[in-house]
Amino acid sequence: MSKRQADAQAGEGEDFRKKKLWGGRFSGSVDPLMHAYNESLSYDKRMWAQDIRGSIAYANANVATGILTAQERDQIVQGLGKVGEEWKNGTFVAAADDEDIHTANERRLKELIGPVAGKLHTGRSRNDQVATDVRLWLIDEAAASEKFLIELIKVITARARVEVDHLMPGYTHLQRAQPIRWSHLLLSHASNLISDLSRLRDLLPRISVLPLGSGPLAGNPFAGLDREAIAKELGFKTVGFNSMQSVSDRDFIVEFLFWSSLTMIHISKMAEDFIIYSTSEFGFIQLSDAYSTGSSIMPQKKNPDSLELLRGKSGRVFGQMSGLMMTLKGIPSTYNKDLQEDKEPLFDAVETIQRSLQIATGVISTMNIFPEKMRAALTPDMLATDLAEYLVRKGIPFRETHHVSGSAVRLSEEKKCLLSDLTLEELKKLNSAFEEDVEDVWKMDESVERRNAIGGTSKRAVLEQCDRIEAQLGA
């Protein structure tokens, strides 16, 4: 490198350093690689609207402190409005030294309104600013996530109502167990999602806590700053009451990532059921073409890629949560640069969960079912428990009737016949309480209707589940 090149690079480094918000302390140049390693504008620019909202609220509050005159506040607010328009229209041009959304917006504000922009940051730190931005952003995205989740639950519940008369095998250990309604299976997944909806609503107050006004860690030094007024203007439910905790707290992100992980696990479990039931071996359901793909070599294939991706992305979201928790586990008080690693996991998880909820809604609303294949899969051996319960109604203890029913199953296997083909005489040899009315045990519809307690698979119980879920959606 020539001396001229070296001098030019040194000059650029000095200019680069001087433009930093923190540059006054340093005399050396910044390694460009370090700048790239340190910057977050490439991903935190999605919070531009929240950063501007927070700055406007802070400017309004600082009229009461005397930091800003009303005229200066108006200049700042109007300037921030112009910055926001540039972001909205896609005309905002980032500068080389814009480290993050905060420096980018403040730099542009100064270009638009001059030195008065420098007053905006008085008493404020990027520590409380970024914590405020993230919370504001997540409040908005949690509301969107809630909307998508509600739509998914509505679609499942609507199908359950319409298709309530269809019967299918219920499985444990992937073995045929007892007859159920198809709707009962659908609502089992809706019930998990209703719990997820409740957890998300419970989380919102812990997201909606205002950090702004905490400064870098010790609080705001200017008398008259009304943090409660700022909270009200921005829509926060409460104000952070410890400035050290407020600037460093990321528990609300971890909680949202946990919520996302658990919700994705529930979506994954539902996807797995539908993947299995869509195979030729089952043939209970078929995905629409809109949510399927073909094989690059086998023309007959119709692959449930949408469901497989839903299943796979549950691991992705869980990985974001576990990664952030490892980042947080050893950080000392209060703000440390490690906390910059909170945003990419959060942004990715939010995008993934919202897309997944919408894809799941599309899959379920468009898939076809084959009730005749579901019913054809019902076999008399699935009524072995009903046979034991028949004897219970005759006054025999269940432990004894369970043994009798098991003996009947063994006898049918030995005879290579259906359980329902055993004669009354053969059953009487197992227990004398059997009578002619044992024939009613082999009626699938009646078996399902007997499960009529709350939460059961009878028609009344299933429709009651629909009512309960719909009531919770409006809570």
User: Active-site positions?
Assistant: 173, 295
Contacts of 204 (CB under 8 A, 6+ apart): 139, 142, 237
Q: Which residue in this structure is represented by tokens 């579901």?
A: 374
352 with 318: CB under 8 angstroms?
A: no
**What are the φ/ψ torsions at residue 293 (nearest 5 degrees)?**
-135, 165
Distance from C-alpha of 439 to C-alpha of 60, rounded to nearest angstrom:
80
Helices 126-162 & 48-65, crossing angle to 10 degrees?
Answer: 130
Round to whole Å and give the CA distance between 98 and 416: 78
Among residues 196, 179, 162, 201, the alpha carbon closest in space to that of 385 is found at 179
Two tokens, residue 368: 């076809």
The β-bridge relationship of strands 285-286 and 368-369 is antiparallel
100 CB-contact burial (10 Å; exposed 0-12 / middle 13-18 / buried 19+): buried
Q: Which of 110, 91, 87 is nearest to 19 (CA)?
A: 110
Closest CA to 356 of 297, 401, 291: 291
Phi, psi (rounded to 5 degrees) for 110: -65, -40
Considering only CA atoms, which of 279, 441, 271 is closest in space to residue 361? 271
